[in-house]
Chains A and B, each alone.
Chain A
Amino acid sequence: MSEQIRNTKSTKGTKGELTILCVLCFLCSGFFQNDPRQIVEEAERRTTSQSQRYEGTLKVIDAKSKVTEKRWQYDRMGSHGASKAVLRFTLPPEVKGVALLVLNHPDRSSDQWMWTPAINRERKIALQDRATRFFGTDFSFEDLEERDTKQFDYKLLGEESIDGAACWKLQSTPRQTKVSQYSHSYVWVRKDNYAIAQIENYDKSQIVRRADYTDIRNDQGIWTAHQIDMHDLKRNSHTILKIEKLQYNVPMQDDAFTVQALRRES
């Protein structure tokens, strides 16, 4: 009898906890729905990792549908505003060894250096030059920075569906400390896993670039798009970045993300 009572109490307890959890989730989701900053911070929290490594295959498709292929190896240490990244081209052969170092900062725009092995020199990419295309792709130098939520103001515009997935549609506007070619962007964040589904970047009223994030998979607990399709809407060209051999939390050393390391590993 006492055993029965205990079981009943235990079941009641579980049900109660579940109810509280459900209520909390409901409240939280309602809270997130009303607070765009909470949404992007949650999205940022869910993609935080110690490091990231992948091999990227790029297909640059120009306005005449001519396709050019490139390949790079991407290493990133830290996340978001405090991250450092090195991107090295491995294909085509004539650009093998060309590398870009990106040092992201939580309070200002990133610092970027490009290493060209043919002339054995690095060149700092000036802030005013970040709007230009990165090495013939449709990504600009600025697009290779990591977005830190603290550098943007957010506004919730509503809900829309992207590829059948319910998303929050947010407007992000860079704060004064952030130098950006874009006056504002629209960001679609999936409601089910907080992964970014699409970004539209604007210069005043004109859309400049659009990034479609597809093939979203769970890798080591992080929902990650394995295909990013970046459209340059002025040039009518687009670049498909396919992410392969993705790994999170790979051991990396701080000194692999310096200007000297660019030279050393060329």
Chain B
Amino acid sequence: MTHLRFRRCGVNRRWKWEEQQALGGLNVLPRAYSLFCRLAYGFLCVVCLTPLSFAQTYTQRGFLENRGTFYPQKALNDSGRAIGESLLRYEGFYLPSTQIQVAGAVDFRIDTHHQVDRDFHLSWLDRGFQRPAVAIRRLSATYHRGPVTLELGKQFVRWGKTDIVTPIDRFAPRDFLTVVDNDFLAVTAARLNYEKGSNTVEAVWSPSLTPSRIPLENQRWAPPLQQLPTPVTVRNAQTVFPGGSQTGIRWNHTGTLEYELSLYQGFNHLPSFEAALSQSETGLTLEVERFYPKMLMAGGNVAISSRWFTLKSEAAYFGSSDARADEYALYVIQLERQSGEWFFIGGYAGEAVTERGSSTADFAPDRGLTKTILGRANYTIDTNRSVAFEAAVRQNGDGLWVKSEYSQALGRHWRATLNVTLIRGELNDFLGQYRRNSHAIVVVRYSF
């Protein structure tokens, strides 16, 4: 059982209480989730009790990363201009037999800017607003026999082929605390995969939603709702996490022509907001409710290799039974080519809204990066050094994001990376709203 409790910890107090409420109000998890936990526990027991007469292997990897982020400008709601973060990640893989694998990964974090929760409880659901200090990044058991693979537990499920925006990647929430430097979050799920020749059918069932982590309201990457003029006080009224499960099915074909078709029914892992303005003694107060609307997605992609480049295209239509949510289609067309030490990706991401919902706002980086021309170039200088450039330019010129990165390996274990990001644009643009957040990041990583 995951223990979520009311804690007196200043700004986080209400959030912790909301987590508890969202899961049933009385620390009762949704029935499907509870059933899933029992099944997963039983499965893990079976795995651990597997006769040990088979050849067993245990492999591990991980890293310790120290990161410094420096912002030359102050933001309206955040005067902090330097942030230090440390992350220790350990991953272990245990193969009791050729058919079974148990994979686990744990993250330990600490930082100087309260993006990491100061309470050292072990987080499984990953629903907190802050990053947990100790998180189970992955814990899953995989059973494999012939063409069938079953994976149960906390795992990464990645769908889609495109790189810049991936519309059909619905089981892949992300940590968007720093919007432009994000990381994937694992989901609790059962994944059944059947592979026959060049075709794969994959079914995924997730008993509970793992939402994407969005920027903190008192920090510089917060959505513009938090950047209203001072007389208006913004209050997080509540967060409503949906109680139902999510399901998806995907058919993937590999070969000279690669394509993939997928269906998803569940919830958007990116939140929408409803806001109500009220008058109080201190002035105007904006009560903001965060919710995760239902979502039905049908999509697909195709990859065609030609003599000169590989063309990849991905499109998905998103419908919803929730009147507050938009109904829309996202599509991406990208070309990629590797030439010598260069690797290029360039493309366009587009959006077509078919029906507007009633919600006040959405936090949707996937949609925010549409109507945009995107590009990426990597150059490998030598075996130890590389540079990378990424850029996104809105087609109306209202937003620009340019990132350049230099990375160098130092010996067998160390790597240093310098990343400089420039953001420019108009306040009403998804990229432009972060125009005071241009920054430089220095990362030193020790891998083991």
Chain A positions near chain B (C-beta within 8 angstroms): 60, 62, 66, 68-69, 91-94, 96-97, 111, 113, 119-121, 124, 126-129, 132-133, 136-137, 253, 255, 258-260, 264-266
Given contacts A60-B383, A121-B158, A126-B310, contact A93 B61 (CB under 8 A): yes
- How far is A121 from B193 in the complex, measured between Cα atoms in Å? 15
- How far is A96 from B200 in the complex, measured between Cα atoms in Å? 26
Chain B positions near chain A (C-beta within 8 angstroms): 59, 61, 63, 93, 95, 98, 101, 142, 144, 146-147, 149, 156, 158, 184, 193, 195, 200, 254-255, 258, 303, 305-310, 336-341, 380, 382-384, 409, 412-413, 415, 445, 447-448
- How far is A97 from B193 in the complex, measured between Cα atoms in Å? 21
Q: Which one, A97, A126, A260, A266, contacts B305 given CB within 8 A?
A: A126
Nearest chain A residue, comparing its CB with the CB of B342 = A132
- How far is A265 from B309 in the complex, measured between Cα atoms in Å? 30
Nearest chain B residue, comparing its CB with the CB of A252 = B98
Asked whether A259 lies within 8 Å of B200 as measured between CB atoms, the reply is: yes
Asked whether A260 lies within 8 Å of B195 as measured between CB atoms, the reply is: yes
Asked whether A62 lies within 8 Å of B448 as measured between CB atoms, the reply is: no
Asked whether A136 lies within 8 Å of B200 as measured between CB atoms, the reply is: no
With A94-B413, A129-B338 already in contact, 15 other A-B pairs whose C-beta atoms are closer than 8 Å: A93-B63, A94-B63, A94-B409, A94-B445, A97-B61, A120-B158, A128-B306, A128-B310, A128-B338, A132-B338, A136-B382, A253-B98, A258-B195, A259-B200, A264-B142
- How far is A132 from B258 in the complex, measured between Cα atoms in Å? 22
Asked whether B413 lies within 8 Å of A93 as measured between CB atoms, the reply is: yes
Asked whether A91 lies within 8 Å of B254 as measured between CB atoms, the reply is: no
Residues of the B chain whose Cβ atoms lie less than 8 Å from the Cβ of A258: 195
Nearest chain A residue, comparing its CB with the CB of B197 = A258
Residues of the B chain whose Cβ atoms lie less than 8 Å from the Cβ of A119: 158, 184
Asked whether A93 lies within 8 Å of B184 as measured between CB atoms, the reply is: no
Q: Which one, B93, B200, B447, contacts A92 given CB within 8 A?
A: B447
- Report A216 CB to chain B, min CB distance, Å: 28
Asked whether B412 lies within 8 Å of A69 as measured between CB atoms, the reply is: yes
Q: Which one, A93, A137, A260, contacts B412 given CB within 8 A?
A: A93
Nearest chain A residue, comparing its CB with the CB of B338 = A129
- How far is A66 from B309 in the complex, measured between Cα atoms in Å? 33
Residues of the A chain whose Cβ atoms lie less than 8 Å from the Cβ of B158: 119-121
Residues of the B chain whose Cβ atoms lie less than 8 Å from the Cβ of A94: 63, 409, 413, 415, 445, 447
Given contacts A93-B448, A121-B158, A260-B195, contact A265 B305 (CB under 8 A): no
- How far is A255 from B195 in the complex, measured between Cα atoms in Å? 9
Asked whether A92 lies within 8 Å of B254 as measured between CB atoms, the reply is: no
Asked whether A128 lies within 8 Å of B305 as measured between CB atoms, the reply is: yes
Residues of the A chain whose Cβ atoms lie less than 8 Å from the Cβ of B93: 265-266
Asked whether A120 lies within 8 Å of B61 as measured between CB atoms, the reply is: no
Given contacts A69-B412, A128-B309, A259-B254, contact A96 B61 (CB under 8 A): yes
Asked whether A120 lies within 8 Å of B184 as measured between CB atoms, the reply is: yes
Given contacts A62-B383, A94-B415, contact A264 B149 (CB under 8 A): yes
- Report B354 CB to chain A, min CB distance, Å: 29
- Report A266 CB to chain B, min CB distance, Å: 8
Nearest chain B residue, comparing its CB with the CB of A88 = B59
- Most B CB contacts (10 A, CB to CB) among A60, A113, A120 go to A120
Nearest chain A residue, comparing its CB with the CB of B194 = A260
Asked whether B338 lies within 8 Å of A264 as measured between CB atoms, the reply is: no
Asked whether A260 lies within 8 Å of B193 as measured between CB atoms, the reply is: yes
Given contacts A62-B382, A121-B158, A264-B142, contact A132 B63 (CB under 8 A): no
- Report A183 CB to chain B, min CB distance, Å: 16
Closest 4 CB pairs of A and B: A129-B338, A93-B447, A136-B383, A94-B447
- Report B204 CB to chain A, min CB distance, Å: 13
Residues of the B chain whose Cβ atoms lie less than 8 Å from the Cβ of A69: 412
Residues of the B chain whose Cβ atoms lie less than 8 Å from the Cβ of A253: 98
Residues of the B chain whose Cβ atoms lie less than 8 Å from the Cβ of A127: 305, 307
Residues of the A chain whose Cβ atoms lie less than 8 Å from the Cβ of B307: 127-128
- What are 15 contact pairs spanning A and B, CB under 8 A? A69-B412, A93-B61, A93-B412, A93-B448, A96-B447, A120-B156, A120-B184, A126-B336, A127-B305, A128-B307, A128-B309, A129-B337, A132-B341, A264-B149, A266-B93
Nearest chain A residue, comparing its CB with the CB of B310 = A126
- Report A197 CB to chain B, min CB distance, Å: 27
- Report A58 CB to chain B, min CB distance, Å: 10
Residues of the A chain whose Cβ atoms lie less than 8 Å from the Cβ of B336: 126
Asked whether B380 lies within 8 Å of A260 as measured between CB atoms, the reply is: no
Nearest chain B residue, comparing its CB with the CB of A136 = B383
- How far is A94 from B386 in the complex, measured between Cα atoms in Å? 14
- Report B352 CB to chain A, min CB distance, Å: 26
- How far is A132 from B340 in the complex, measured between Cα atoms in Å? 5
- How far is A53 from B336 in the complex, measured between Cα atoms in Å? 33
Residues of the A chain whose Cβ atoms lie less than 8 Å from the Cβ of B310: 126, 128-129
Residues of the A chain whose Cβ atoms lie less than 8 Å from the Cβ of B184: 119-120
Asked whether A255 lies within 8 Å of B144 as measured between CB atoms, the reply is: yes
